[in-house]
């Protein structure tokens, strides 16, 4: 039996409107994700700053393949999740 694919991780805050919109779109599309609040989880803001040139920009989405996108559209998330041959 194969392991289930890793979920993508969305770094967010409770007050971010862009985060709420992306979460809603991911839910509607049935795309599973783990959410990490960068204001509550130690080290989360450090990761976000590392992939965003020192900025705490959310939503930042981290993919199982190691890629990260900042404030991506749903289409960008789906494209990153689509395997390429």
Tens digits of per-residue pLDDT, 7-53?
899 999 999 999 999 999 999 999 999 999 999 999 999 999 999 99
Question: In terms of Cα–Cα distance, which of 27, 31, 22 is closest to 58?
Answer: 22
**Greater model confidence, 2 or 77:** 77
pLDDT at res. 53: 94
pLDDT at res. 1: 42
Mean pLDDT of the chain: 91
Domain ranges of the chain: 17-56+70-80
Q: How large is the C-alpha radius of gyration of the chain? A: 13
Predicted structure pTM score:
0.88
User: Which of helix, strand or coil describes residue 11?
Assistant: strand
């Amino acid at each position: 039996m194969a392991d289930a694919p890793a979920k993508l991780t969305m770094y967010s805050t409770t007050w971010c409107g862009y985060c709420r919109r992306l979460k809603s779109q991911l839910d509607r599309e049935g795309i599973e994700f783990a959410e990490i609040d960068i204001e509550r989880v130690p080290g989360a803001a450090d990761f976000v700053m590392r992939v965003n040139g020192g900025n705490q920009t959310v939503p930042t989405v981290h993919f199982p393949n190691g890629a990260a996108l900042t404030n991506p559209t749903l289409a960008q998330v789906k494209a990153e999740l689509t395997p390429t041959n």
